Structure 1
Amino acid sequence: MRRLTIKIGVLAATMALALAAAENAQGVPTQHTAHRGKAPTAYFEMTDVTGQRFVIALTDPAKIRHARDLVNGTSDSEPHVVGRIDKRRVAYNPRWSYHIKPDTIDFFDYAIEVCDATIPYVEDHLREAGGAFLPGLIWCPWSSRLVREIPAE
């Protein structure tokens, strides 16, 4: 029963993320994007079970604090990254043909399987993302973890 409750909670959280991202795509401010103009962007490198590296950008001050706490070891809560992918290359993550939209990034402990994939698998199947593979372009690599903050230049 507890496992079912966790799965339902994760599904609800994933749907909330998808709805917030959809609202934001329509230009409606959300709680997580309200501070975007006030805080500098922080960049973090993450890895997964493959050992590949991927860079994310965070603009929400609370999420930046959480990411820094994960990197420096003062927190182990919600260590994995979730967000909506954008099928475009960005300067801060040049190795990959996609990135996670900064205003959709969040952190999680557990997630449903439908959004799990490794960094290189997403790259190799990017054309399929958004359909049966990574519905809604929501990506939640279960083995993701932040490894370092990239210093501002």
Structure 2
Amino acid sequence: MQLTDEAKIAHARRILSGDETWRVHVHGRIVKRPVAYNARWSYHLQPDTIDFFEMAIEVCDSSIQYLEDHLDEAGGAFLPGGHWCPWSSRLVRELPGR
């Protein structure tokens, strides 16, 4: 994912350092097209919609692979409005900016 908001970048860095332990999962709106930094998948999260959560409703949960396999259905009954909140999401590292 790509973060563009300084406050969210700072929050992500607190997650990576272990200082933030509550709002550690990622959510945002799906864009159904690949980008260079997420080339393995046919979608990415719209940067200005990304945020972090502790708990979320079940209707927006999906694994990465399930979303890929059912991307054409996303935004309807599956992941309404294109909002995705994978409960198993976690940050593992920061990549250098381009």
- Compute the TM-score of the two structures, normalised by the length of structure 2: 0.97
Higher radius of gyration, 1 or 2: 1
- Compute the TM-score of the two structures, normalised by the length of structure 1: 0.63
Matches within 5 A, 1:110-125: 110-125=55-70
Q: Equivalent of 1:107, from 52, 64, 74? A: 52
Q: Which amino acid aligns with 2:20?
A: S
Deviation of the 1:72 alpha carbon: 1.3
Q: Equivalent of 1:97, from 42, 46, 59? A: 42
Matches within 5 A, 1:51-90: 56-90=1-35
Q: What stretches of structure 1 move > 6 A for 4+ residues in a row?
A: none
Deviation of the 1:110 alpha carbon: 0.5
What is the alpha-carbon root mean square deviation over aligned residues? Answer: 0.8
Number of equivalences: 98
Name the residue aligned to 1:131. 76
More strand by share: 1
Q: Equivalent of 1:149, from 91, 94, 97? A: 94
Deviation of the 1:76 alpha carbon: 0.8
Q: Percent identity?
A: 67
Deviation of the 1:152 alpha carbon: 2.7
Query: Which residues of structure 2 form unaligned runs of 5+?
Result: none
